Amino acid sequence: MQLKGLNDHQIQAVKALEGAVAVIAGAGSGKTRTLTYRIANMIDNNIFPSSILAVTFTNKAAREMKERVVDLIGPQGFAPMISTFHSFCARFLRDEIEHLGDTYTRHYLILDEDDAKQVIRDTVKELNLDPNRYNSNRLKDYFSKVKNGQYDSLEYEEEKVFIKYNEYLKVNNSMDFDDLLNYTLKILKENKAVLDMFQERYKYILVDEFQDTNIIQYELILLLGSKYKNVFIVGDPDQSIYGFRGANYENYTFFLRDFKPQIIVLDQNYRSSMHILTAANNLISNNRNRKTDKLLKSDLGDGPLVIKEVRESDKDEAYFVARAIEILVHGGYQFKDIAVLYRSNAIGRIFEEAFLRYNIPYIIYGGISFFSRKEIKDMLSYIRLALFEHDNISLKRIINTPRRKIGQTTISKLEAYAAIHHISMYEAIDRINIGGQTREALQSFKKIIQVLRDEITQIYDLTQVVDLALQLTGYEEMLRLEGNEGKDRYDNIQELKSIFYNGAVDYKGTNLEKIEQILDDMALKTDLDLEDDKNTVKVATIHQVKGLEFKAVFMVAMEETVFPSDISGSFTEIEEERRVAYVGVTRAKERLILSHAKQRFRYGQTQYNSPSRFIEDMDLEKNKEKRLVVEQEVAPEVVQDDIHVGDSVLHEKYGKGVVVMKNDEITRVAFSIEFGIKLFTTGHQALKKIKSEN
Ligand SMILES: Nc1ncnc2c1ncn2[C@@H]1O[C@H](COP(=O)(O)OP(=O)(O)OP(=O)(O)O)[C@@H](O)[C@H]1O
Ligand SMILES: [Mg+2]
């Protein structure tokens, strides 16, 4: 294989086929690229492709890596197992779960965060505890910490909830995300034969973003890799940002001890121009607790200066960003080249409002995720129940959606009956003693599920699963009666089809086997995996975009109490926040714009925050180009249709407007006060010129 596009150190890492290797290097130095090339090069050197296991942090990263390997060496690149820790474990458990010797079966259900919290809420209620005091968000977080070894004690009542929660999961053949890792580890630890088999299967292991592995994940790597010791890790201690979830930088020390790796350092940054890197270097040099004090350097030239912008209010800031994005786009950027990043989820909302006004296409991560929308979960619950009738959690979701006159009392009775007789709620429908109309309602529900199952096993085209679940269940009819909102929800459900379509291509086996894999994937997915190809601005927390890069990055709400967050007080916490900021800064390739507002509406009141200390840490003293982005309008250029600046136009929804600016790409139209100014791509069908009379 040609190793073009790699420097000497990278080549050294790529060529080290056997033995343990640690690549420790700063942001944008090509760690992920090196790891990807290494997989390709291994296969090129006749290492058996399916003996390679590569773990990454997000599904998106895994998919990109797969595509890259296939680009490099062709279809053989599909064979290695490239996935997240969670997907790997989910798959492992489908085959090996019987070794738990527990009640679990291979058709166990993966509960996402929302489902898990719902179970916690139900449990709190059942135990007659105060739901405010025993808040499900907080408890979920605690339970997670207990499960991944960060906490070892809970207070008395919490412990009771914890025990009951886990019992419920077990009885219902279901697991939360932490269980996936823990049970995998348990099986590998307790079953020599299984461990042997997997050590033989995956002789080569590669791990991206090693700095964010937690102790359980490290133990997995250790177990699987300890026989052949062909473990290749890449990481950057300065980007370790999951300490709050138990990611433990000590893992690196353990890795040195356990694997005695060859250490390769990369010091050339290929992502960012020099002004951005200087800001990043300055920023991180304020952390005292660092493993190295490496500086990033780049050959990409100085590039534009880093911009620092202050606005009166959070709203002004959002509008500043919207205008600046318009201008970048006029200047040749695409929306997808741009990211708006912040420290915590709640900040995103206000940008949404501004972007809607400015017609800026965006996708916001961490809002209501596509996969946690009610209509999506309902559809998936129908499909799951049709496949696995013992799935009580799915059954409870949809037994009365659309309404079938099956009330809460009936559902509780069913649940109790099922629990006492150790059968599923679905089976309980036939056996429980309920009369009259309710009995009929239950029977016709059961009939729906049966028909759905029969149909699913027979269809040829898996995307039909979605139509079947919509039509047979009365769900489509229900949405139709909901008017506009129903239409949106219907459209969301249609999006599911592409997922089933892709799954049908990716997986082998019977319909049922394929669908089960698809459902697993979906349970582990986030929005990041979804709107990939669309030309949209990404609006996200910094945590959500690690490993990614964008031409232009806005870091917004750079204010004390927001970033660093007011819940981080200790020295180590502040240093972790600074690493988060460092990850943000180093996502930018060409432009970095930092902004903050003097006033911000937060927690139901107006706050007055001073600029984040991290701005000062970046030492942007020499920066005089503050207003550059906003003021540098690009002059109107060639015209592609007969609409000109000053013309009146008509739009179906916004009514009459006047063209106020136009260039090759963008036509900007002022409509009535109600709608304001909107952007269109030049030549857009929706704009009709109103012919002037003279
Ligand atoms: N030798 C090289 N020549 C040219 N471009 C390179 C080289 N190595 C990496 N790149 C490019 O530099 C950018 C950063 O690479 P990559 O994402 O692999 O870095 P990283 O170290 O994984 O960053 P992070 O720490 O943010 O995960 C990518 O666009 C990549 O294609
Ligand atoms: Mg990377």
Q: Which residues of 135-161 are buried (b: 16+ CB within 10 A; e: fewer)?
A: ebeebbebbbbbbbebeeebeeebebb
- The catalytic position among 203, 404, 587, 591 is 587
Q: Which residue has the tokens 């799935």?
A: 391
- Give the number of the atom of ligand 1 that is nearest the alpha carbon of residue 10: 1
CA distance 175 to 173: 7
Pairing label, strands 174-175, 109-110: parallel
Q: What is the mean pLDDT of residues 204-224?
A: 95
Q: Which atom in ligand 1 lies closest to the alpha carbon of residue 586?
A: 26
Euclidean distance between CA atoms 288 and 309, whole angstroms:
28
Is the pLDDT score of 626 beyond 80? no
CA gap 302, 282 in Å, rounded: 15
* Per-residue pLDDT tens over the stretch 348-368: 888 988 898 888 999 887 666
Query: Is there a catalytic annotation at residue 538?
Result: no
Higher per-residue pLDDT: 635 or 626: 626
* Bridge partners, 679 (sequence order): 668
Question: Could you tell me the distance, in angstroms and rounded to a whole number, from the CA of residue 215 to the centre of ligand 2?
Answer: 21
Residue 634 has a pLDDT of 33
The DSSP call for residue 692 is P
Spell out which residues line ligand 1, taking CB within 6 angstroms. Answer: 5-7, 10, 25, 27-33, 236, 239, 270-271, 547, 549, 586
Residue recorded with tokens 């269940």: 473
Say how many Å lie between the CA of residue 497 and the centre of ligand 1.
34
Per-chain mean pLDDT for the chain? 89
pLDDT higher than threshold 90 for residue 42: yes
Buried b (16+ CB within 10 A) or exposed e, 538-564: bbbbbbbbbbbbbbbbbbbbbbbbbbb
Q: Give the pLDDT score at 588.
A: 98
- Index of the ligand 1 atom closest to the CA of residue 547: 27
Question: Known catalytic residue: 464?
Answer: no
Total H helices, total E strands in the chain: 26, 22
**Segment 254-278 mean pLDDT:** 95
Ligand located closest to 27 CA? 1
Residue 139 in tokens: 């408890």
Neighbours of 630 (CB within 10 A): 16
CA of 36, closest atom in ligand 1: 18
Nearest ligand to the C-alpha of residue 266? 1
31: annotated active-site residue: yes
Strand 262-266 relative to strand 307-313, pairing: unpaired
Three-state secondary structure readout of 134-150: CCHHHHHHHHHHHHCCC
Quick: pLDDT tens for 233-247. Answer: 999 999 999 887 777
Read off the pLDDT of residues 74-127 as tens digits, 9 standing for 90 and up: 988 889 999 999 999 999 999 999 999 878 988 898 988 888 998 999 999 999
* Whole-angstrom distance, CA of residue 338 vs CA of residue 535: 10
203, 196 contact by CB (below 8 A): no
Instruction: Please name which of 473, 471, 464, 469 lies closest in space to residue 401, comparing C-alpha atoms.
Output: 473
Q: How far is CA 62 from CA 41, 56, 164, 626, 679, in A?
A: 18, 6, 35, 38, 35
pLDDT at 533: 62
Q: How far apart are CA 510 and CA 387, in angstroms?
A: 12
Take residue 425 and report the two structure tokens written for it: 């709620």
Question: Is the distance from CB of 181 to CB of 116 less than 8 angstroms?
Answer: no
Please check if 26 is assigned to a binding site.
yes
pLDDT tens, position by position, 629-677: 444 433 333 335 788 888 888 888 888 888 888 876 678 888 877 777 7
**How many Cβ atoms from other residues are within 10 Å of residue 26's Cβ?**
27
Token look-up 């129903």 returns 486
Give dist(CA 54, CA 277) in Å, integer.
29
Nearest CA to ligand 1 atom 9: 30
Please state, as a whole number, how many other Cβ atoms lie within 10 Å of the Cβ of residue 286.
18
Is 587 one of the annotated active-site residues of the chain? yes
Q: What is the dihedral of CA 623, 626, 629, 633, to 10 degrees?
A: -120
**Token pair for residue 329?**
């786009």
> What percentage of the chain exceeds 90 in pLDDT?
61
Kindly report the backbone phi and psi dihedral angles of residue 235, in degrees, each rounded to the nearest multiple of 5, phi listed first.
-170, 170
Q: At what angle do helices 484-506 and 464-472 cross, to 10 degrees?
A: 140
- The residue type found at 207 is V
Closest to 110 in 3D by CA, of 94, 122, 126, 124: 94
What pLDDT is stored for residue 527 in this prediction?
A: 62
| Residue 152 in this model has a pLDDT that exceeds 80 | no
Residue 611's alpha-carbon distances to 24, 256, 540, 597, in angstroms, are: 32, 40, 20, 8
In this predicted model, which residue has the larger pLDDT, 313 or 150? 313
662 is in an annotated binding site: no
Q: How far is CA 292 from CA 145, 287, 288, 547, in A?
A: 29, 11, 10, 20
Q: Of the ranges 51-60, 486-495, 498-507, 531-540, which is most confident?
A: 51-60
pLDDT value of residue 210: 95
Tell me how far apart the alpha carbons of residues 195 and 187 are, in angstroms, rounded to a whole number: 8
User: What is the 1 CA–ligand 1 centroid distance (Å)?
Assistant: 19
pLDDT band for position 218 (50/70/90)?
very high
pLDDT digits (tens, 9 = 90+) for 270-319: 999 999 999 999 999 999 988 777 788 899 999 999 999 999 999 999 99
Give the residue-averaged pLDDT of 340-352: 89
Ligand 2 centroid from CA 29, angstroms: 8
Task: Name the pLDDT band for 503 (thresholds 50, 70, 90).
Answer: confident
Give every CB contact of residue 390 below 8 A, 6+ residues apart in sequence: 107, 173, 424, 426, 427
Q: What angle do CA 333, 334, 340 make, to 5 degrees?
A: 90
**Tens of pLDDT, residues 473-488:** 999 999 999 888 888 8
Query: Known binder of ligand: residue 30?
Result: yes
**Which residue pairs, CB below 8 angstroms and at least 24 apart, start in 399-408?**
399/445, 401/475, 401/478, 402/473, 402/474, 402/475, 402/477, 402/478, 403/478, 404/441, 404/444, 404/445, 405/437, 405/438, 405/441, 406/438, 406/441, 406/442, 406/445, 407/438
Strand partners, 607: 600
Closest residue (by CA) to atom 15 of ligand 1?
A: 30
Q: Evaluate whether 408 touches 125 at the Cβ level (below 8 Å).
A: no
Q: Is 28 annotated as a binding residue?
A: yes
69-90 burial: b if 16+ Cβ within 10 Å, else e: beebbeeebeebbbbbbbbbbb
- To the question of whether residue 32 is assigned a binding role by annotation, the answer is yes
Q: Which residue has the higher pLDDT, 633 or 376?
A: 376
H helices of 589-662, in order, are 613-618, 628-631
Residue 326: pLDDT over 50:
yes
Residue 433 Cα to ligand 2 middle (Å)? 59
Give residue 411's pLDDT: 94
Pairing state of beta strands 605-608 and 588-602?
A: antiparallel
Residue ID of nearest Cα to ligand 1 atom 27: 547
